[in-house]
Amino acid sequence: MNRIILLTLSVFTTGIVSAQLDVNVQKSIDQIEDKVINWRHDFHQHPELSNQEYRTAEKISQHLTNLGLEVRTKVAKTGVVALLKGDHPGKVVALRADIDALPVTERNDLPYKSEVRARFLDTETGVMHACGHDTHTAMLMGVAEVLSAHKDKIHGTVKFIFQPAEEGPPPGEEGGAKLMIKEGALTQPNVDAIFGLHINSATPVGTIRYKSGGTMAAVERFVVKVNGKGTHGSAPWTGVDPILISAKIIDGFQTIISRESPLVNEAAVITVGKITSGVRFNIIPESAELIGTVRTLDPDMRTLIMSRMDAMAADIARAYGGSATIQWQNNTVVTYNDPNLTSQMVPSLEAVAGADNVQITKATTGGEDFSYYQEVVPGFFFFLGGMAPGNTEPFPHHTPDFKVEDSGMKLGVQALSQVALDYLQLN
């Protein structure tokens, strides 16, 4: 069937339109933009940590129920899954948004700034949507409303997946995409393909970026337990200092990246994000704990790095009279965009953003548990611009000053609506 017949939306950005798009669906998106922005502000002002998204889930489920969708709640603790059946038979396509926030204290002047406080890993902290999940949630709620008003254009079924704990469940708990899959998010009925997006603070509003194949890294969480021998701080020779050993281990880990990893193949990262040890300035403690992450895009490099970290931590600790072990937890696998699905759907993105505004990007060492869905069914994950025009120093994700523009969300609603409609009609 001719591509021009299939495309069903209209462009909001300044790029060149690659086809004539459906005026009625376009009008629905125009009418819902303010709603999407208001939802986003509400979620931003009331963020909730992983596996604790109770208020968020209630707001989502109430909206989907009001639209007349078939709604399942409490999937993977606080997740919501809803079905929209079109007027025509066909396959099942899933659209996913993550709904959790981060233990970050917000530092900006937004009128909807978060003032929420919580405890995370026994530490009091602010809670903030410092990665844009509030926008993802609001956009997918908008897509659900738009498509539910145009069931005559749906050739099959659209499944909406609102997923908690993308940032990782609390220690000792299950959660995120793995648990969503285990509890049937990709079945009842079986999903044929899945799409997702992530807003990006360093990508200009109106722009979409993507990469076929491996696009985001596998993520490991590690905990290094260092054991020494406690003593008085005035006589360090009578003990074994686990803080000194920890410093040597951290320094050694970086040589695995700089001197042992073939970085000409793919990027790799080792980061220690938390160190805990001691209670008083003049006491050398008995132990220390390091918590961090490893990011890899190549399976062989992943094996090498983890193996060398295990050996290096133990050997360095032994050299200074102590001991060390590492506990590993896999948080994501490589986010792999199915090449056939990607090439099939890029024209849909070009139709809503303009061909010049849909750009191929390089792989990133960020991680996404959307990757677990892609292990089960073909998936396509792309990046949406959230940076204001003229901004030359955007704040990174996961930082207190992180900010994305409301104006970027309309294109996200368009893009998700477009790929869902086109996939179902093409297949």
For tokens 């948004």, name the residue: 97
Closest CA to 88 of 146, 152, 24, 147: 152
The catalytic position among 22, 48, 106, 166 is 166
SS3 of residue 223 by DSSP: strand
Query: Active site includes 356?
Result: no
CA distances from 369 to 96, 196, 285 (A): 11, 11, 37
Long-range Cβ pairs for the range 301-306 (8 Å, 24+): 301/261, 301/262, 301/265, 301/266, 301/268, 302/218, 302/220, 304/260, 304/261, 305/256, 305/257, 305/260, 305/261, 305/268, 305/270, 306/220
Query: Active site includes 350?
Result: no
Q: How far apart are CA 415 and CA 408, in angstroms?
A: 11
Dihedral of alpha carbons 348, 349, 351, 356, sign: negative
Q: Are 133 and 98 in contact (CB under 8 A)?
A: yes
The catalytic position among 48, 100, 134, 338 is 100
SS3 of residue 99 by DSSP: coil
Give the residue numbers marked as catalytic: 100, 166
